[in-house]
Amino acid sequence: MARRNWIVIGDPAAETRATQILALALRKCAERASPHVRQRPRSIPIPPLLLAAAKSVTLASLEAPNPLLEILALATRNTFELYLRLKHILASDANAQSWRNEAVTDHLEIYEGILELDGPESAKRTIAAECEAIRQDAVGRGLRPADHLERVGSLAHAAGLDREYKAFYKFYSKLVHPSSFLVNRPTAATTPAFRSTLIFNLQVYGHRVLDEGAELLEADPETLLQDAEQQLDGLRT
C-alpha cells in the first residue's frame, strides 16, 4: 500500500492540521519508545528527543493558522537540529553518551554564569553547592561534564547533510534572532516564499524524525500518523 503524503503546503488551515497530526504522532512514538530505553545505551536519549520534536512541531500551531514568522522559524530550526542529533545518537553508543553528558555541562554553565555576577556570598555558596549536587547526580547516572559541545555544523557533516545545513541554517537563524534583516527589512523577511519554505522544511524534518523513531520500534509511521489523525478528530468532536 502506497504511503499517504502527509506534508501539506499552501492552505494555512490544512498546514496547521498537518503539523498537529505530526506532533501527536511524534508524541505517540515517544511514549512507545520509553519502555525500550534500557535495551542499549543509545536508546536512552531517544524518548526525550522524540518528545522534544513533538513540542517543536507544536510551536507551528501557535497563533494558527498564521503563526509569527519567528515562531515558525524557531520550530523549523529546532526540528532540524533534533533530526541531526537523532542521526548522530543512532550512529554509536559513544555519541549517545556524549549527548547525555552535554546536559550536565549545560546545567552547570547556567549556574556558573550566574556566579560571575556580584552578589551576597551566601547566595554564591548556595549556587556552588547546587553545582556540586549536579556533579554528584551525574556520577550516579553514569554521566560527567562533556569534553566539548557538538556544534550543529559538525552534526550536519556527520549526517551527510552539509548542503542542507549551508542552505537553510543561516536562513532559520536570521529569522529566529533579531537580526538586522528581520528588524530593518520586515517586508522582505515575511515574504510568502520564506513562510512556505519554513512550513515545508518543518514537516520534512519532523517526518524524518518520526520515521527514524518508528524504525527503532519496528513500528509503521503510517499507522502512528493515522492514529494521531483519529485522535485529533476525536478531540474536535
Ordered by start, the domain boundaries in the chain are 12-93+151-236
Query: Please, which pLDDT band fits residue 64 given cuts at 50, 70 and 90?
Result: confident
Query: Please, which pLDDT band fits residue 3 given cuts at 50, 70 and 90?
Result: confident
Task: Inform me whether the pLDDT recorded for 37 exceeds 80.
Answer: no
DSSP 30-72: HHHHGGGTTSSGGGTTHHHHHHHHHHHHHGGGTTTTS--HHHH
* Mean pLDDT confidence for 22-37: 90
Mean pLDDT of the chain: 93
> In degrees rounded to 5, what are phi and psi of residue 215?
-65, -40
Task: Inform me whether the pLDDT recorded for 1 exceeds 90.
Answer: no
Q: Round to whole Å and give the CA distance between 146 and 43.
A: 19
Query: Please, which pLDDT band fits residue 39 given cuts at 50, 70 and 90?
Result: low
Residues of the chain with pLDDT > 90, as a percent, come to 85
Report pLDDT for 160. Answer: 94
Report pLDDT for 99. Answer: 96
CA distances from 64 to 59, 61, 72, 169, 186 (A): 10, 5, 10, 24, 20
Query: Please, which pLDDT band fits residue 235 given cuts at 50, 70 and 90?
Result: confident
Query: Amino acid identity, residue 9?
Result: I
Question: How confident is the model over 163-173, as pLDDT tens digits?
Answer: 999 999 999 99
Report pLDDT for 172. Answer: 97
Q: What is the pTM of this model?
A: 0.93
Report pLDDT for 228. Answer: 96
Task: Inform me whether the pLDDT recorded for 43 exceeds 90.
Answer: no
* Mean pLDDT confidence for 6-27: 96
